[in-house]
């Protein structure tokens, strides 16, 4: 550790006058090294242990909020920037295939791989386009975790939080998480108590039973096309 800060630290711990004697000095140094190494080990420990689910949401939320604060283009609703933000900050933490499957419901089982791929892509576009408008509201918000209910060690956990701003009532935001290795993935989100999956399930079922899965896919495409047209206007 050649860096000067470290040297001054070790010097302040080990003033030369106190430890002039060789063996004592060596023992103290050994102790110091042990401490340093254990610190390194502790810092790396989360890589080996399961992250707490609420901690996970807190970290992801804080990172996303910070990026929104620092990038005016996102808050202004620049579609390309918003899409990149979502792809980089949100999507890596979402099991979007499961989210789509849950929203589509029973018809998912009959869907071909190609239909599934299209459903996932169109649903993702729909959510990103419509909810990106809300990002401009998030510039003054901070996240506050609500107490975790249930067992943090379970395979699926409900994590509850709220976004707090300088003005206005707190905005409730809850997440359903599934265990993904050492980490977690989100597979449903609610805002003010309204779950995304449940909100779309009735609409998707209605559309699919009236026009079939391909009908549902083309309705989604049509929706997204309209949204793209109106946002570029």
Partner 1 sequence: MIRLRPLLLAVVLAAGSSGFAQGATARDPLEPLNRSVFAFNDALDRGLLRPIAQHYVRWVHPGIRQIVGNVFSNLSDPWVGVNNLLQGKPVQALGDFARFGINTVFCLGGLGDLASELGLPRHNEDFGQTLGVWGVPSGPYLVLPLLGPSSFRDATGVVAGSLADPVRRIESEGERTAVALTRVVDARASLLPLDRLIEGAALDRYTFVRNAYLQRRLNLVYDGDPPDEPDSDPEPKE
- The alpha-carbon radius of gyration of the chain (Å, integer) is 25
Say whether residue 233 binds partner 1 (CB under 8 A).
no
Residues contacting partner 1: total by CB under 8 A: 41
CA 155 to centroid of chain Cα atoms: 17
Phi, psi torsion values for 43, nearest 5 degrees: -65, -30
Say whether residue 130 binds partner 1 (CB under 8 A).
yes
Q: How far is the CB of 198 from partner 1 (least distance, A)?
A: 6
Q: 223: which residues sit within 8 A by CB, 6+ positions away?
A: 126
Phi, psi torsion values for 144, nearest 5 degrees: -125, 125
Residue of the chain from 109, 114, 181, 229 that contacts partner 1 (CB under 8 A): 109
Contact (Cβ atoms closer than 8 angstroms) between residue 179 and residue 98: no
Q: How far is the CB of 162 from partner 1 (least distance, A)?
A: 8
Residue of the chain from 13, 58, 84, 105 that contacts partner 1 (CB under 8 A): 105
- x/- contact string, 155-184, with partner 1 (CB under 8 A)? ---x-x--------x--x------------
Q: How far is the CB of 153 from partner 1 (least distance, A)?
A: 17
* Cα(206)–Cα(199) distance, integer angstroms: 12
How many helices (H) and strands (E) would you count in the chain? 8, 5
User: Residues interacting with partner 1, by CB under 8 A?
Assistant: 101-102, 104-109, 126-127, 129-131, 133-134, 137, 149-150, 158, 160, 169, 172, 190, 192-195, 198-204, 206-207, 219-220, 223, 227, 230
């Amino acid at each position: 550790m050649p860096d000067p800060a470290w040297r001054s630290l070790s010097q302040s711990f080990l003033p030369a006058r106190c430890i002039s004697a060789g063996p004592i000095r060596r023992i103290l140094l050994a102790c110091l090294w042990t401490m340093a190494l254990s610190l390194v080990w502790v810092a790396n420990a989360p890589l080996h242990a399961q992250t707490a689910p609420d901690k996970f949401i807190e970290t992801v939320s804080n990172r996303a909020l910070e990026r929104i604060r620092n990038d005016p283009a996102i808050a202004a609703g620049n579609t390309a920037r918003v899409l990149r933000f979502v792809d980089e900050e949100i999507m890596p933490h979402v099991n979007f295939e499961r989210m789509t499957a849950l929203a589509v419901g029973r018809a998912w089982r009959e869907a071909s791989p190609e239909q599934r791929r299209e459903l996932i892509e169109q649903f993702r576009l729909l959510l990103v386009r419509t909810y990106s408008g809300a990002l401009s509201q998030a510039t003054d918000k901070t996240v506050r975790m609500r107490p975790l209910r249930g067992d943090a060690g379970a395979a699926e956990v409900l994590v509850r939080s709220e976004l707090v701003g300088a003005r206005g009532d707190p905005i409730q935001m809850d997440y359903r998480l599934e265990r993904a290795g050492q980490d977690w993935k989100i597979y449903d989100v609610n805002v003010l108590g309204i779950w995304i999956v449940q909100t779309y399930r009735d609409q998707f079922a209605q559309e699919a039973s009236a026009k079939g899965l391909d009908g549902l896919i083309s309705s989604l495409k049509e929706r997204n096309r309209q949204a793209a047209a109106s946002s570029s206007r």
